[in-house]
Amino acid sequence: MNDNKNYKIGIIGFGPKGFYGFERLIAYLNEAEISKSIEVHIFNTTSFLASGDVYRTDQPEYLIMNYANRNINSWVLKEPFSNASSTPDFVTWLKAKGHTNAAPGKYAPRALVGSYLVDCYQLVLEQLPKNVKVFTHIGKVTDMIKQNENYQVFYTDIKSGEQDVVACNNALFTTGHHSFKVHKPESEILDNKIDFIYPTNEKLSPVTPQSLVAIKGFGLTAIDSILALTEGKGGVLKKNDKGILKYIPSKKEPYKIYPFSRTGLPMVPRNGSPTSEITLQYFTEEVVQNLEANKPISFNNTLLPLIQKEFHYAFYYVLFKNQGHQFYYDDDFTVMENQVQYFHEDYPESPVFNWDTIVNPFKDEPILSSVVLQVYVEFLIDEAKLGEDKSPFMAAVATWRKISPIFNELYSFGGLDAESHKEFNDQYFGLFNRISYGPPVKNMQKMLALCKAGILDFSYAKSASITQNNENGNFTLQVENGQTTEINYLVNATIARAKESGFKNELYQNLNKNGIIREYKNSTYVPGCLEINAKGNPVLETGIVNNDITFYGTPTEGITCDNDTLSRTRNDFATNWAKETCTAILKRDGRTENYDRTENVL
């Protein structure tokens, strides 16, 4: 397996991003007609290859996607084309399999998306070039050391518990959210503190019936936790005769579930409708080109005003349309404001655009009551049902999804000044995720039903702190006004991200120690991520770029922005990695022809 005559490639982490890299690699190898024997070594912490932990195929059906079927496609129509015998998008695959939830605007169970990814992986495996062999290693990669021309990859086998090592010439890291996950010694792990919820049926099983549970976080992972502790415990959510969703308890769920977060705000849900016809007017590619020459850029002074104008434009575009009028764009924003003024004089009952009301309506409230948040959730559900074509609010919050790819070009590789980089990471990254990438309406309706059933309680949603009681091992949840409650279980439903305090993951700590990566610094700001070049290759401590290794997806967060798990285009370092890997093999094989191509994207 470690024959030096073979060229050995490692893919460390094999969820969707690992599969995308593998698919591009095989496409390039197939086109290059390389005769040399090639080994592809796949390392993954579980046996759920291609699906990864997020889309693992054994999770319950109530855990569903947060974006619609139409947006899911594991393939790229791009040369060199895949060697697979077919390349179906998700909707086509669903129809071929006879699934009833195949409509483009539906939200599928995540396990079903996992099955799709696994099938796509198998389609590539079935057409492997004869000289390519694939080896899978199920276990935890903990270290990599360079030794002469090779990289020794150390991993602990999940079954035997023994450490093994594989020598690779080249490696792609797609380690997902594990990249920032803190390694805790066994002595620090508590039975009543759950630091990672997936797989939910395993991780949340210790939670006992009628207990008191606090959930840190109020995003998609928190919703998964809440559903796993209710539906997953045998509770039933069904509509009554009036069409209102009600929760029927099983008596196996917790007595109370208390979510808490910094803002105390739930995510804005979505209804699965297509992207609206509203185009960007201020935050455009042309504007980006002009700003590129002025990096680093101030977020507050330069970019935020443009974002706010886009939200304003989308809000009034729909509001005007709802009254049979057209909102005309003008380069002079005062002309736009005059249109708005005249409109409100004619329609004084119409809602008025307010940035703070949209992004943080309770900004000045130190604490929030459960009743206030329940009313807000009802408002969000009503707006989401209308969709971005009919709701000015939904049109405004949808704007970030259009801005985000363009913003990424400005943000990446130190595009923001140090102060702005920190402020965006700390404040605005979470804010824009909350308002633009929320759950399906269906899931927010479930949250409302659980709230009305008295199980989900928002009393500690904002400004809460939690401490452990050393006497009995329980926790105390407390808000600023002094209200407290005892908690039996604490669930961490936040997703690990890069933090200023440096690398927390064991593998990345070792990579840093071994000089394979170094921490990225944007002037005075150190976001806690590794430094890479524009191709995803790490910059060594000496400042030299290591072309043998590439990072792709979540590991690059902090120097790039918002690496969507299923996106084939966002920060696509996999394509260049596959291409450069082929070039390296050709050179080693004595073939020196130029392998560069003019890309033809269909």
Sketch out the chain's domains with CATH numbers: 7-175+534-589 (3.50.50.60), 191-267+440-492 (3.50.50.60), 285-366+386-437 (no CATH)
Phi-psi region of 122 (alpha: psi -120 to 50; beta: other; left: phi over 0): alpha
What per-residue confidence (pLDDT) applies to 1?
41
Residue 591's pLDDT band (boundaries 50, 70, 90)? low
Q: Is the pLDDT of residue 360 over 80?
A: yes
**Is the link from the previous residue into 80 a cis peptide, with omega within 30 of 0?**
yes
Q: What is the pLDDT of residues 141-182, one digit of tens each?
A: 999 999 988 999 999 999 999 999 999 999 999 998 776 767
In this prediction, residue 602 has a pLDDT band, given cuts at 50, 70 and 90, of very low
**What does the pLDDT look like over 278-315, one tens digit per residue?**
999 999 989 888 998 889 999 999 999 999 999 999 99
Q: What is the mean pLDDT of residues 233-247?
A: 93
Cα distances (Å, whole numbers) of residue 361 to 289, 318, 372: 34, 21, 11
CA 586 to chain centre: 36
Q: Check if the beta carbon of residue 426 is closer than 8 Å to that of residue 349.
A: no
Q: Which tens digits make up the pLDDT trace of 456-489? A: 999 999 989 999 998 888 999 999 878 999 999 9
User: Are 143 and 510 a contacting pair, CB within 8 Å?
Assistant: yes
Q: Which two tokens stand for residue 251?
A: 């008596």
For residue 186, pLDDT beyond 90:
no
Q: How confident is the model at residue 496 (pLDDT cuts 50, 70, 90)?
A: confident
H or E segment and range at residue 257: strand 256-260
How would you class 585 by CB atoms within 10 Å of its CB: exposed for 0-12, middle for 13-18, buried for 19 or more?
buried
In angstroms, how far is the first alpha carbon of the chain from the final one?
38
| DSSP summary character for residue 530 | B
Provide the 8-state DSSP code for 182: P
pLDDT at 26 over 50: yes
Give the CA distances from residue 594 to residues 37, 137, 579, 586, 587, in Å, rounded to whole numbers and listed in that order. Answer: 21, 34, 12, 9, 10
pLDDT in tens, 378-430: 999 999 999 999 999 999 999 999 999 999 999 999 999 999 999 999 999 99
Bridge partners of residue 545, in order along the sequence: 539
